Amino acid sequence: MILIVDDKPENLIAMRKTLESRGFQTDTALSGELALKKALKQAYDLIILDVQMPEMDGFEVAEAMSGHSKTKDIPIIFLSAVNVSKEFITKGYASGGRDYLVKPFDTDILVLKIQTFIKLSRMQRSLQEEIERRKEAENKKNEFISIASHELNTPLTSVKGYLQLAGLSLAKGKAEEATTFVERSKKQVDKLNGLVADLLDTTKIEAGKLKFNYTHFGFAALLQNAIDNISQVYTGKNITVTGASLENISVYGDENRLEQVLLNYLSNAIKYAPDSDHVTVDISLAANNHIKIGVTDYGIGISPDRQKQLFDKFYRVEENSHRFQGLGMGLYICAEIIKRHQGTYGVKSEPGKGSTFHFCIPINAQSEQQTDLI
């Protein structure tokens, strides 16, 4: 969109017809003040600005625009039939103009200049957006390094402390007490191992080297195994399975990777519902030969504006990041595994009323899935 600014209506009409006949979209303003107001509301690719205008001339308009972050990068072409001396042309460039044309001018030359400035402006805008994305990625990386350092250091510090306590207990002949401290340190080592595994999986995903081994397996056994593993870690938690029967349901996929998804969903359901002892796993079989698994907790829930980002890499819900440990990579890895199985995933949640994380995969995957790398 090109904004044409001139205090004479006949000039606006003539210029508008000329540019629109060449395929440009245009807008007009009869004063410098109106041009400023429009430029702050509408994103223009270029402004054609008359110099000689009452109250606020073209130079003043250009200077005002160059001082505002929203308008400073819009290219301006000055047009003038009166102020044609070197002094005025120099002032035009000094006030922020990209070019200064003297009336009468060659229409073809003007069109070529407009096309060039618009192209350059869009390239500049695209480059700036890319730079902002690099900056954002750099900030996320730095934030992740800080989080990872903290999350990895926490279990390491605990292991060191528990082993020291175990050593003191053994020195005092308290073998049973020492065993307790060793068991506690083992749990911290397991937690550390999980964090490192997430780091390695994320690195492999980015490098395209996350391995998959596709076979036919019974999904009922997979689900039960995941529930048993979680129940051993989180004793006292009641996990109920509802919905369709999985008896005789055989799935073609990577059994270990899909179990990884289930374990992540189940552990999150328990972790983010600290005041609840109940988790529900619902199973449904779709008519298009898909199996859908939903894991429901009855915990803190997630606000709608946060839900879309949950499966992004390194994302952690800010208000909960200090309450719950993690690198913010588990759901990202789950999403990649599910996509590799040609499946879909998502979440339904309401703050204070819990969450349901689900995924849906075909029972028999297509043949191109047989490659072993993501």
Please indicate, yes or no, if residue 267 is contained in any of the structural domains: yes
Please indicate, yes or no, if residue 111 is contained in any of the structural domains: no
Asked if residue 279 and residue 361 are part of one domain, the reply reads: yes
pLDDT value of position 330 = 82
Nearest to 257, CA basis, from 324, 190, 187, 204: 204
pLDDT value of position 74 = 87
pLDDT band at 320 (very low <50, low <70, confident <90, very high): very low
Whole domain around residue 177: which residue ranges? 138-207
The CA distances from residue 6 to 18, 35, 104, 110, 196, in Å, are: 15, 9, 15, 16, 65
Residue finishing a domain among 190, 207, 224:
207
Please indicate, yes or no, if residue 128 is contained in any of the structural domains: no
Please indicate, yes or no, if residue 199 is contained in any of the structural domains: yes
- Dig out the tokens for 58 from the structure: 């073209």
Calculate the average pLDDT of the chain.
83
Q: SS3 for the chain, per residue?
A: CEEEECCCHHHHHHHHHHHHHCCCCEEEECCHHHHHHHHHHCCCCEEEEECCCCCCCHHHHHHHHHCCCCCCCCCEEEEECCCCCHHHHHHHHHCCCCEEEECCCCHHHHHHHHHHHHHHHHHHHHHHHHHHHHHHHHHHHHHHHHHHHHHHHHHHHHHHHHHHHHHHHHHCCCHHHHHHHHHHHHHHHHHHHHHHHHHHHHHHHHHCCCECCCEEEEHHHHHHHHHHHHHHHCCCCEEEEEECCCCCCEEEECHHHHHHHHHHHHHHHHHCCCCCCEEEEEEEEECCCEEEEEEEECCCCCCHHHHCCCCCCCCCCHHHCCCCCCCCCHHHHHHHHHHHCCCEEEEEECCCCCEEEEEEEECCCCHHHHCCEC
Asked if residue 232 and residue 202 are part of one domain, the reply reads: no
Please indicate, yes or no, if residue 325 is contained in any of the structural domains: yes
Asked if residue 337 and residue 225 are part of one domain, the reply reads: yes
Report pLDDT digits (tens) over 192-229. 777 777 777 777 776 777 788 899 999 999 999 899 88
How many structural domains does the chain have? 3
**Segment 117-128 mean pLDDT:** 83
Q: Is the pLDDT of residue 11 over 90?
A: no
Asked if residue 75 and residue 7 are part of one domain, the reply reads: yes
Please indicate, yes or no, if residue 120 is contained in any of the structural domains: no
Asked if residue 226 and residue 195 are part of one domain, the reply reads: no
Asked if residue 280 and residue 183 are part of one domain, the reply reads: no
- Return the CATH number at 66: 3.40.50.2300
Distance CA 371, CA 307 (A): 32
**Segment 163-182 mean pLDDT:** 91
Asked if residue 345 and residue 268 are part of one domain, the reply reads: yes
pLDDT value of position 347 = 94
Report pLDDT digits (tens) over 123-132. 888 888 888 8
Residue finishing a domain among 82, 105, 128:
105
pLDDT value of position 321 = 44
Of these ranges, 3-12, 124-133, 150-159, the one predicted with the greatest mean pLDDT is 3-12
Asked if residue 170 and residue 226 are part of one domain, the reply reads: no
pLDDT band at 370 (very low <50, low <70, confident <90, very high): very low
Distance CA 317, CA 177 (A): 38
Residue finishing a domain among 207, 233, 263:
207
Asked if residue 358 and residue 227 are part of one domain, the reply reads: yes
pLDDT value of position 323 = 46
Asked if residue 340 and residue 227 are part of one domain, the reply reads: yes
Least confidently predicted of 14-28, 288-302, 355-369: 355-369
pLDDT value of position 120 = 85
Asked if residue 93 and residue 23 are part of one domain, the reply reads: yes
Please indicate, yes or no, if residue 349 is contained in any of the structural domains: yes
pLDDT band at 342 (very low <50, low <70, confident <90, very high): very high
Please indicate, yes or no, if residue 238 is contained in any of the structural domains: yes
- Return the CATH number at 318: 3.30.565.10
Asked if residue 362 and residue 237 are part of one domain, the reply reads: yes
pLDDT band at 56 (very low <50, low <70, confident <90, very high): confident
pTM recorded for the entire structure? 0.54
- Return the CATH number at 186: 1.10.287.130
